[in-house]
């Protein structure tokens, strides 16, 4: 089963249990040399930034759950694409599946979306400074 790094709505364990019932939460992870953004479509993404880090959670993703996750992420419509990137875990650096927004233009989060992402981040005990940085997107592009 592939490792999957979630940094947005898919950090929410209850939502993932519905979308991907055979997958298992592993714990925290981080994507170095990237930063969190809200793209113009109103959803989370990450972009390269050598000085920043994106925090999130790792899932042991069941192969049977990948089609549902692809649908949720809008892969067929071009909203997100998939990549395998190095993610830092408790056990060291590992390659993980990640969904990258096709748009890199910053935007405003959809109503309620970022609140749900922040709640999931708090539940995952992501660093407080990182959560404050994410909360800044409630005011618009940084």
Q: Binding site, residues?
A: 113
Specify binding-site residues for substrate: 113
Cα 61 → chain centroid: 14
Distance CA 106, CA 108 (A): 7
- For residue 41, give the H/E element and its range: none
**Residues whose CB falls within 8 Å of the CB of residue 124, separated by 6 or more in sequence, listed in order:** 11, 28, 56, 57
Per the annotation, the verdict on 133 as an active-site residue is no
Instruction: Select which of 41, 73, 91, 122 is catalytic.
Output: 73
- List residues with catalytic annotation: 73
């Amino acid at each position: 089963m592939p490792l999957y790094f979630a940094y947005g709505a898919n950090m929410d364990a209850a939502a993932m249990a519905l979308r991907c019932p055979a997958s298992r939460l592993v714990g925290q992870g981080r994507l170095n040399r990237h930063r969190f953004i809200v793209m113009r479509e109103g959803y989370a993404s990450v972009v390269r930034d050598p000085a920043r880090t994106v925090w999130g959670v790792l899932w042991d993703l069941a192969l049977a759950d990948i089609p549902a996750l692809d649908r949720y992420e809008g892969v067929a419509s071009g909203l997100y694409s998939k990549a395998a990137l190095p993610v830092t875990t408790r056990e060291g650096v590992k390659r993980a599946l990640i969904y990258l927004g096709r748009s890199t233009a910053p935007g405003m989060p959809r109503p309620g979306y970022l609140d749900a992402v922040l709640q999931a981040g708090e539940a995952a005990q992501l660093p407080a400074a990182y959560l404050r940085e994410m909360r800044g997107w409630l005011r618009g592009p940084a």
